[in-house]
């Protein structure tokens, strides 16, 4: 399985940042890992014209193909542009847009139908971790947002503890390992042979300074990176750590 360094710009960045990030194309020209940048939707088209070896993804898609859904973008439209991956169920979407596990599953299936790889995000809140609910929450999210219909096409899982996103607080290696092992076992038990080919990303305050340690954890196949993916040197050092892992 190829490892993946994915950047989620959220509602950040600009054409200038995009042009600066194009330096990654030269630095990681012959990369052994996949690199993906998910800019805000309005920057997808310029990003596609600027990048060739780095893939461009979206941060969300609608669950339906078309219709009266003002402000939304369908997976078909993303595919039409040449987008190859889409984040679904990021905690900011789950919390700010009250997205449920079943909506996340519908979006993931819509993406696959359009030929786009969904990156399904899961993760517990601080309250849930502190009350010992982490693995129950992860299992519930996987039960609700994964389905056997998904398994005919590639997909990715990103474990992002909500309390680690944008906070600088990273779980211990043991805590990350526990969840990633649980996810791999869940996939093996429920979806058998696809388990070995489904990348499990860790996300939440990944930086150049902690990437090596995170990528040494068993069953971590890459990262979903927020803030650090907007800066060439920061994202480049994360990609380099993944290449060396």
Round to whole Å and give the CA distance between 157 and 142. Answer: 9
Q: One symbol per residue from 184 to 203: x for binding ligand PEP (CB under 6 A), - otherwise; what is it?
A: -------------------x
Query: Which one, 8 or 151, has the nearer CB to ligand PEP?
Result: 8
Query: Which one, 115 or 166, has the nearer CB to ligand PEP?
Result: 166
Which residue's C-beta sits nearest to ligand PEP?
A: 226
Min separation Cβ 8 and ligand PEP, Å? 4
The binder of ligand PEP chosen from 82, 115, 166, 218 (CB under 6 A): 166
Site for ligand PEP in 205-224 (CB under 6 A): 205-206, 224
Q: One symbol per residue from 86 to 125: x for binding ligand PEP (CB under 6 A), - otherwise; what is it?
A: ----------------------------------------
Query: Which one, 79 or 170, has the nearer CB to ligand PEP?
Result: 170
| Long-range contact pairs involving 74-79 (C-beta distance under 8 Å, separation at least 24) | 74/110, 74/114, 75/107, 75/110, 75/111, 75/113, 75/114, 75/116, 76/114, 78/44, 78/111, 78/114, 78/116, 79/114, 79/115, 79/116
Report, as residue numbers or ranges, the catalytic residues: 90, 160
Q: Which of 239, 240, 229 is nearest to 20 (CA)?
A: 229
The binder of ligand PEP chosen from 204, 217, 220, 236 (CB under 6 A): 204
Query: Which one, 63 or 238, has the nearer CB to ligand PEP?
Result: 238
Q: How many CB atoms lie within 10 A of CB 105?
A: 22
Round to whole Å and give the CA distance between 136 and 100. Answer: 16
Is 8 a residue that touches ligand PEP (CB under 6 A)?
yes
The residue ranges that bind ligand PEP (CB under 6 A) are 8, 10, 160, 165-166, 203-206, 224-228
């Amino acid at each position: 399985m190829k490892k993946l360094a994915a950047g989620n710009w959220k509602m950040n960045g600009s054409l200038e940042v995009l042009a600066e990030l194009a330096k990654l194309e030269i630095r990681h020209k012959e990369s052994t890992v996949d690199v993906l940048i998910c800019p805000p939707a309005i920057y997808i088209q310029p990003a596609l014209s600027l990048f060739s070896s780095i893939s461009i993804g979206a941060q969300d898609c609608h669950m339906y193909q078309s219709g009266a859904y003002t402000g939304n973008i369908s997976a078909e439209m993303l595919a039409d542009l040449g987008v190859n991956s889409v984040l679904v169920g990021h905690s900011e979407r789950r919390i700010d847009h009250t997205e449920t596990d079943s909506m996340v599953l519908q979006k993931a299936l819509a993406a696959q139908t359009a030929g786009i790889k969904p990156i399904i995000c899961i993760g517990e809140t601080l309250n849930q971790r502190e009350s010992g609910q982490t693995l129950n929450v992860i299992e519930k999210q996987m039960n609700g947002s994964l389905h056997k219909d998904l398994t005919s096409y590639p997909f990715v899982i990103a474990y992002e503890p909500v309390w680690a996103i944008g906070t600088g607080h990273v779980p211990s290696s043991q805590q990350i390992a526990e969840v990633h092992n649980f996810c791999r076992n869940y996939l093996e038990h429920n979806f058998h042979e696809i388990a070995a080919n489904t990348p499990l990303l860790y996300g939440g305050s990944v930086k150049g300074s902690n990437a090596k340690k995170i990528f040494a954890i068993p069953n971590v196949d890459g990262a979903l990176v927020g803030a650090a993916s907007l800066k060439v040197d920061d994202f480049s050092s994360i990609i380099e750590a993944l290449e060396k892992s």
